[in-house]
Amino acid sequence: MKKVIVTGGTGGIGAGVAHCLAGVGCKVIAVSASQAELNAFPPQEGIELRLMDVTDQASVDAVFGPLDRLDGLVNCAGILRRGDEYDIDVFQRVIDVNLVGTMRCCLAAQTLLATSKGSIVNTASMLSTFGGPLVPAYSASKGGVSQLTKSLAGEWADDGIRVNAIAPGWIETEMTQGLRDNPERAEGIMARTPMKRWGKTSEVGALVRWLLSEEASFVTGSVYPVDGGYLAM
């Protein structure tokens, strides 16, 4: 049975990933920095919940340190501060959670994954490819996650660790609520999405499940869109 840590595992996409992995018998440790989110998460067999802040080394060490085995790491923790990211402190915070937090967890998992010949899936975005309105820090962080993924894949292949990223399109979660509530932004996004709908967290989870599986044994350093065709148009 594979043991996998999912950061942001009690939020939108992370929770979808956690459910998908638990559904195929993985032992999932879903971590979040929000105690309220952990309290609200419905108990599910195969999913253990832990409080962990990806920006806090001691908190990350407390989760990864005691583990005797780890087969997978899925970095889903992320924030976006639409409209506020021109404030330099907000800019730095977004980079710290989305990019530095991803690297912090990759480093915390490295030795364990080298032993298990395990795999990492990072969460990039459409905004790894192009900039988004009002989100300069988020866009920069996601460009960074994409490049970090390729860099680690190249460096850690010798250790038997595969490192890939997903690039979700426009998925129905808390993060996109503001866009879905804004008719102008929502219509613009749907107009450019060939499948003409928002994605579901389970559809992202299915891609992550495959990337972590043996079926993806020759796949590393890739950034996979799951976007209803958004990047194709």
Ligand X SMILES: NC(=O)c1ccc[n+]([C@@H]2O[C@H](COP(=O)([O-])OP(=O)(O)OC[C@H]3O[C@@H](n4cnc5c(N)ncnc54)[C@H](O)[C@@H]3O)[C@@H](O)[C@H]2O)c1
Ligand Y SMILES: O=C(O)C(=O)C[C@H](O)[C@H](O)CO
The residues carrying an active-site annotation are 138
126 belongs to the binding site for ligand Y (CB under 6 A):
yes
Our finding on whether 53 is near ligand X (CB under 6 A) is: yes
Binding flag, residue 10, ligand X (CB under 6 A)? yes
**Residue 82 partner contact from ligand X, ligand Y, none using kind-dependent CB cut-offs of 5 to 8 Å:** ligand Y
Beta strands in 82-232 (DSSP E): 119-123, 162-168, 223-226
Judged by CB under 6 A, the stretch of 24-32, 44-52, 98-106, 170-178 that binds ligand Y is: 170-178
**76 lies in the site for ligand X, by CB under 6 A:** yes
Applying CB under 6 A, the span of 38-46, 88-96, 98-106, 163-171 interacting with ligand Y comes to 163-171
| Binding of ligand Y by 179 (CB under 6 A) | yes
C-beta separation of 214 from 26 below 8 A: no
Residue matched to tokens 């990933």: 17
d(CA 136, CA 20): 31
Residue 146 interacting partner from ligand X, ligand Y, none (CB closer than 5 to 8 Å by kind): none
Cβ count within 10 A of residue 176:
21
**Single-letter residue type at 143:** G
Q: Would you call 51 exposed, middle or buried from its count of C-beta atoms within 10 A (0-12, 13-18, 19+)?
A: middle
Q: Which lies closer to ligand Y via its Cβ, residue 17 or residue 26?
A: 17
C-beta closer to ligand X: residue 115 or 210: 210
Spatial distance between the Cα atoms of 126 and 208, rounded to a whole number of angstroms? 16
> In this structure, what are the phi and psi dihedrals at residue 198, rounded to the nearest 5 degrees?
-80, 150
Q: Which range, of 9-17, 90-98, 144-152, 167-175, touches ligand Y by CB under 6 A?
A: 167-175
Sign of CA dihedral 104, 79, 223, 25: positive
Q: Does 34 bind ligand X (CB under 6 A)?
A: yes
Which residue lies nearer to ligand X by CB, 118 or 228? 228
User: What is the rounded end-to-end Cα distance, in angstroms, of the chain?
Assistant: 40
- The answer to the question of residue 137 lying near ligand Y (CB under 6 A) is no
CB nearer to ligand Y: give 57 or 177.
Answer: 177
Q: Which two tokens stand for residue 135?
A: 């989100």
* 29, 171, 189, 223: residue in contact with ligand X (rule CB under 6 A): 171
Using alpha carbons, list the distances in angstroms from residue 98 to 41, 69, 90, 156.
22, 25, 12, 21
Nearer to ligand X, 79 or 163 (CB): 79
Q: Which residues make up the interface to ligand X (CB under 6 A)?
A: 7-8, 10-14, 32-34, 37, 52-55, 76-79, 97, 101, 123, 125, 168, 170-171, 173-176
